[in-house]
């Protein structure tokens, strides 16, 4: 049976790329897989960010939709969802899904960059800024890092200043649609200026810590910081 | 006078190599299949087939349970939902084991999305990545040690010109040269992580 692709991924399959996939992807096709290749010649790849850096980081290719990248799925139930904000904070708290939706919401287009070399531009994320959650939890002065905690023990570490940047979200929608299972429903982190593995799916907690604690991929050979513009892919 | 008995190692090596080789077949298939799958993770989801469909069902009146029942019926879904959850006025989630229906009761739009596990490959990946931990760590370690034995014992399987003294040596050298040359030519991990860093 042919694999099913989402409409977004299908739209990214240019004819030339499809032929290339047909030529090179026979093994994966046998396994029931599919290639989703880049959209070429998009003028946005030549743009600069306000900070002067190229919008498309080095070594990346632009695709037109988020790609599912696997992971050990968590509980997709919004009713069971709990987000624990804790660690080096004066006022730890826990949110359920309704509680998260009741906080001031942010809708913002963000670019994301996967360590496997694809980037997606202008994904419209909806959610709550991590900085707002930090403010609500009253983060202590000696906190230096944030650990995003997710299902099945997955963690990702981010420097505090980077985690509190305006674009860093606890997101529950992408492109105005509830997060799909492949993208960590009901809630995931979005840390747009670091490689996408830092944006933990199936988010369960945000822990503020004094000392850095390398996470799941960071302890498996990937870079501790993960800046796409410095190509910090591997440690 | 009788000749002293010679200790013949090669038959023992061959027998061990043979039996360990048989033993390794299953695990080799698991690791090789998963290796192929995960090596191309940028091109596909090696664990799941993901799907998303949008349905327009028209206005859906009633309370949450009534809406959920109507949607399930209209979409001819046989499975029983595990949860019906009202997230907001325009979002009612009907959750099943492997799929979720995100319903907008006012417009009748239903986003039907979910994942179908790739039966064999997902299990192979789970084993390969040692997601289960616990005793699999020991099995994987034993398998790795077994592969080392197979590689080393394989060197001494064949005597003479087809063995290490001839053809075998050429192939061994070639096999060693491939990763060495790749690291040399590519610059290795240092080049990948530091050469492109501006200002460093």
The pLDDT assigned to B114 comes to 94
User: What is the third-level CATH fold of A7-230?
Assistant: Sulfite Oxidase; Chain A, domain 2 (3.90.420)
Q: How confident is the model at residue B7 (pLDDT cuts 50, 70, 90)?
A: low
Residue B61 in this model has a pLDDT that exceeds 50: yes
Interval A114-126 mean pLDDT:
95
The pLDDT assigned to A34 comes to 39
- Inter-chain contact A181–B114, Cβ cutoff 8 Å? yes
Q: How far is residue B11's CA from residue B103's CA, in Å, rounded to a whole number?
A: 69
With beta carbons under 8 A apart, name residues in chain B contacting A235: 193
- Residue B23 to chain A, least CA–CA distance (Å): 24
Phi/psi for B172 (5° steps) reads -60, -45
- Inter-chain contact A32–B115, Cβ cutoff 8 Å? no
Residue B121 contacts residue A34 (beta carbons within 8 Å): no
Q: How far is residue B7's CA from residue A221's CA, in Å, rounded to a whole number?
A: 46
| Interface ipTM | 0.73
What does the pLDDT look like over B110-140, one tens digit per residue?
999 999 989 888 889 888 988 777 789 999 9
Question: Which of A176 and B44 is assigned the larger pLDDT?
Answer: A176
What does the pLDDT look like over A210-234, one tens digit per residue?
999 999 999 989 999 999 999 999 8
Where do the domains of chain A lie? 7-230
Q: Is B82 on the interface with A (CB under 8 A)?
A: yes
Residue A133 contacts residue A81 (beta carbons within 8 Å): no
- Inter-chain contact A152–B131, Cβ cutoff 8 Å? yes
Indicate which of B43, B124, B186, B195 best probes the interface with A, i.e. most A CBs within 10 Å of its own CB: B43
Residue A12 in this model has a pLDDT that exceeds 60: no
The pLDDT assigned to A103 comes to 98
Residue A143 in this model has a pLDDT that exceeds 50: yes
What does the pLDDT look like over A72-105, one tens digit per residue?
889 999 999 999 999 999 999 999 999 999 999 9
**Packing angle between helix B119-128 and helix B9-39, nearest 10 degrees?**
110
Where do the domains of chain B lie? 1-47+120-157, 48-117, 158-200
Q: Find the residue in A nearest to B102 (Cα).
A: A178
Q: How far is CA B36 from the centre of its chain?
A: 8
Q: How confident is the model at residue A7 (pLDDT cuts 50, 70, 90)?
A: very low
- Residue A8 to chain B, least CA–CA distance (Å): 9
- B window 35-54, beta carbon within 8 A of A: 36-37, 40-52
**B200 membership: H or E segment, kind and range:** none
CB atoms near residue B78 (< 10 Å): 5
With beta carbons under 8 A apart, name residues in chain B contacting A230: 196-198, 200
Question: Which of A119 and A14 is assigned the larger pLDDT?
Answer: A119
Q: Find the residue in B nearest to A220 (Cα).
A: B129
- Residue B187 to chain A, least CA–CA distance (Å): 14
């Amino acid at each position: 049976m042919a694999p099913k692709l989402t409409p977004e991924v299908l739209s990214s399959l240019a004819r030339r790329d499809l032929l290339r996939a047909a030529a090179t992807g026979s093994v994966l096709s046998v396994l029931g897989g599919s290639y989703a290749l880049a959209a070429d010649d998009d003028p946005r790849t030549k743009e600069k960010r306000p900070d002067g850096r190229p919008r498309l980081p080095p070594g990346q290719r632009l695709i037109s939709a988020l790609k599912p990248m696997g992971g050990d799925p968590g509980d997709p139930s919004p009713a069971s969802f709990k987000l624990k904000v804790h660690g080096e904070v004066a006022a730890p708290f826990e949110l359920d899904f309704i509680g998260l939706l009741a906080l001031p919401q942010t809708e913002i287009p963000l670019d994301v960059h996967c360590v496997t070399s694809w980037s997606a531009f202008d994904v419209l994320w909806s959610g709550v800024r991590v900085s707002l959650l930090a403010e609500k939890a009253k983060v202590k002065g000696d906190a230096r890092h944030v650990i995003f905690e997710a299902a099945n023990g997955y963690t990702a570490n981010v420097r505090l200043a980077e985690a509190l940047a305006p674009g860093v979200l606890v997101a529950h929608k992408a492109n105005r649609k509830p997060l799909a299972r492949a993208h960590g429903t009901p809630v995931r982190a979005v840390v747009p200026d670091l490689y996408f593995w830092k944006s933990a799916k199936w988010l369960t907690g945000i822990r503020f810590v004094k000392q850095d604690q390398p996470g799941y991929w960071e302890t498996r050979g990937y870079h501790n910081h993960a800046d796409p513009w410095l190509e910090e892919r591997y440690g | 006078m009788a000749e002293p008995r010679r200790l013949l190692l090669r038959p023992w090596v061959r027998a061990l190599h043979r039996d360990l080789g048989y033993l390794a077949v299953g695990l080799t298939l698991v690791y090789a299949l998963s290796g192929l799958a995960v090596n191309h993770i940028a091109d596909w989801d090696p664990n799941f087939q993901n799907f998303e469909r949008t349905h327009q069902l028209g206005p859906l009146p009633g309370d949450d349970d009534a809406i959920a029942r109507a949607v399930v019926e209209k979409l001819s879904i046989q499975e029983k939902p595990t949860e019906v959850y009202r997230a907001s006025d325009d979002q009612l989630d009907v959750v099943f084991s492997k799929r979720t229906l995100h319903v907008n009761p006012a417009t009748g739009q239903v986003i039907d999305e979910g994942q179908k596990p790739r039966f064999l490959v997902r299990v192979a990946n789970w084993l390969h990545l040692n997601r289960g931990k616990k005793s699999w760590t020991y099995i994987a370690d034993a398998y790795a040690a077994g592969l080392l034995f197979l590689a080393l014992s394989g060197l001494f399987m064949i005597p003479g010109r087809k063995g290490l003294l001839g053809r075998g040596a050429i192939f061994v050298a070639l096999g060693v040269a491939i990763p060495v040359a790749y690291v040399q030519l590519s610059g290795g991990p240092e080049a990948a992580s530091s050469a492109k860093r501006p200002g460093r």
